[in-house]
Structure 1
Amino acid sequence: MSDDATTAIGIDIGGTGIKGAIVDVTTGELRSERVKLPTPQGGEPEDIVATVEQIIDALGDVPAGTPLGVCFPAAIVHGTTMSAANVSPTWIGLEAEKLFEERLGLEITFVNDADAAGYAEARYGAAKDVRGLVIMTTLGTGIGTALIHDGVLIPNAELGHMDVAGRRDFERRASYAAKERAHLNWKRWAARLQVYYGQLEKLMWPELFIVGGGVSKNHKHFLPLLRLRTPIVPAELRNNAGIMGAAALAAHAVGASTHAPASDLVDKTKPED
C-alpha cells in the first residue's frame, strides 16, 4: 500500500446502528475494539455527528492527524450527501463532509456504504489481488452495488435501480427484502437473481461478483443455483467491511493529497511540428 497513513478510523453509519474502530489500513485488521451505538431516533445530522463523536471518544487515545473515514447510506458527491436511506431527509443535499469536519476537528472522507464495503473486499477480502472489474452486491432491503477496477473504486454505482426485463428498479424484485415479502423459496429467488446478475454480466463483463448482506451467510442455498460465466462468491468481511473500507479510503485520500495533483501527471509534452 502506497498511502502515507498506516492507521485510520472507520465509521459505519446505518439506519439502526453506528459502529467504528481504528484500522490498520495495510492489513485491514482492527487495531481497537469495535464500538457500536444505536442510531439516534429520526437520524438527524447533528444527532448522528454527536454519536460519531462519542464513538471516537470511546476508541481512546487516537494519534493526532489520524484520518477518519465515514460511510453512509447515500450517494456522495464531493462530500455532499445526495440521497438518504433510513435516516432523516435533511441529509439530502447536505455538505456532510464539511459538517463533520467542523464539528469533529478532523479531516473527513465521506463515502457511500456499499462503496466502502466493496473497496474493503477488493483490498482485504474476497477480491484481494483480482485484476479487472469486480462488482460487489449487497442483498438486503435493496441491492447495494460497488464497482472496483484494478483496485480503484468507481463511486456511486446504483445498479440496484437498474431496469431489467422490462421491470423498473429491479431491486424491488431481487433484493432479500423482496424474497421475504413474496415468501419466495431459495429456488424461486435464485431465478430472479439469475435475471439480475445475467444482465450485469452482459453489460459489464466483470471478472468477479461478490455477494454481501446478512443473507450471504446462507450462500450455499442460492449461489450454486446461478448459471453465470462470471465467478460469484460470498463476501468475506461481513460486519466490519464498511469500517475497513471507510478507513482505507480515508488513508488513501490523505496520501493522495500529499502528492502531485492529477493534472501534473498528464503528459504535457507537445509534438514537434
Structure 2
Amino acid sequence: MSDAGPRTLAIDIGGSGLKATVLAPDGTMLSDRVRRETPYPCTPDVLLDELEKLATGLPAYDRISVGFPGAIRRGRVRDLVAFLRPAPGEPKSAKLAKLWLGWDIQGALAERFGKPVRVANDADVQGCAVIAGTGMELVITLGTGVGCAVFYDGVLLPHMELSHGRFGHGHSIEVACGDHERQKVGKEKWSERVLDALAAFDEMVLPDHIYIGGGNAKRLDPDRLGPNRTIVPNVSGLLGGIALWERGDATASATGSP
C-alpha cells in the first residue's frame, strides 16, 4: 500500500443505501465499508445530515468523491428519479422536485465537509473502476433504478439518461428493471426484462463490452448474459472514487479548496 498522496472519502449514494469508505492513494480500502439505509422522504438537507453521520468514525481523508443516482452537470443535479418520490414506488412529488433539481450538491458537500469534492453519476463512478479503456464500453447499474455510463477508448462521455427510454414492456428501462418492479413481478420475469434491456442497449449504443453492476446485478445468472457482458462487484461504486479524481474528461470539475 502506498501512502504517497491524498486519501479519498468515497461515497456511493443509492436509492436504498448510503455507503462509504476511505481509500489510500493506490485505491486500497483503509476502512471497512460502512452503510446506512437511505431515508425517505430524502431532501437535500436530510441527505447531507445522513452523509455526515456516515463519515463519522472513518479514517482521516483529504478529498471526497461521490457517486449519485442521477444526472450531474457542473456539480448540480440535472435529473433524478429516486429522491423525487416520498418513498420507493410512489408518484413523484413536485415539492421534492423543486428542492432537488438544480441543487448544487457538489458545493453543498464541500461546504458541509470542508474538503474538495467531486460528484458524478453513480454509473460514471463505477465505470471509472471497471472499464478496460478500449473501444465503446457501456456500464449499467441495477439498483433502485437503472444507471448508465458510456466510455470511448477510456474517455467518459457526457452523462445521458439512456435508461429513461421506453421499450417493449410498456415502461422505461429505469422502471421496468428497477427494484420496485423486481419485487412486484418476481426474479424470473425481472431477469427476462433485464436481458431484453441489455439487447436494447446493444442496439442503441453498439458497445464492444457491457459491464453490469449495482446491488441487483448479483441476481442475474452470468451464464445467460451472453458474450461481452460482465457482472462487476458492487464495491466498484466506491473504488471508482480514486479514478474520478484522476480523470480529465466529463468528471473533472471539482469544488472546494485543494
TMscore range, shorter length: 0.7 to 0.9
Instruction: Name the aligned partner's letter for residue 23 of structure 2.
Output: V
Give the match for residue 265 of structure 1.
Answer: none
Shift of 1:170: 3.2
Alignment of 1:142 with 2:145, yes or no, is yes
Percent sequence identity over aligned pairs:
27
Larger radius of gyration: 1
Unaligned runs of 5+ in 2: 85-95
Shift of 1:48: 2.1
Counterpart pick for 2:83 among 70, 81, 87: 87
Instruction: Name the aligned partner's letter for residue 208 of structure 2.
Output: E
Shift of 1:166: 9.0
The C-alpha deviation readout for 1:2-33, integer Å capped at 9, x for no partner, is xx95532211122343221111353x331222
When residues 7 and 192 of structure 1 are mapped into structure 2, their CA distance, relative to the original with a 3 A threshold, is same
Distance 1:8 1:161 in 2: 32
TM-score (norm 2): 0.77
Shift of 1:94: 0.5
Give the match for residue 18 of structure 1.
Answer: 18
Instruction: Name the aligned partner's letter for residue 185 of structure 2.
Output: A
What's the secondary structure of 2:119's corresponding residue? strand
Give the match for residue 31 of structure 2.
Answer: 32
What's the secondary structure of 1:75's corresponding residue? strand
Alignment of 1:75 with 2:71, yes or no, is yes
What's the secondary structure of 1:110's corresponding residue? strand
What's the secondary structure of 1:181's corresponding residue? helix
Give the match for residue 161 of structure 1.
Answer: 164
Give the match for residue 241 of structure 1.
Answer: 236
Give the match for residue 106 of structure 1.
Answer: 115
Distance 2:183 2:36 in 1: 27
- Output the aligned Cα RMSD: 3.0
Runs ≥4 in structure 1, deviation > 6 angstroms? none
The C-alpha deviation readout for 1:146-193, integer Å capped at 9, x for no partner, is 1122222224231211233595523433445434423463xx555544
Distance 1:40 1:218 in 2: 24
Shift of 1:105: 1.4
TM-score (norm 1): 0.73
Shift of 1:232: 1.1
- Check the 8 A contact 1:190/1:226 in 2, yes or no: no
When residues 134 and 40 of structure 1 are mapped into structure 2, their CA distance, relative to the original with a 3 A threshold, is same
Shift of 1:86: 3.1
Shift of 1:97: 1.0
What's the secondary structure of 1:76's corresponding residue? strand
Unaligned runs of 5+ in 1: 123-128, 259-273
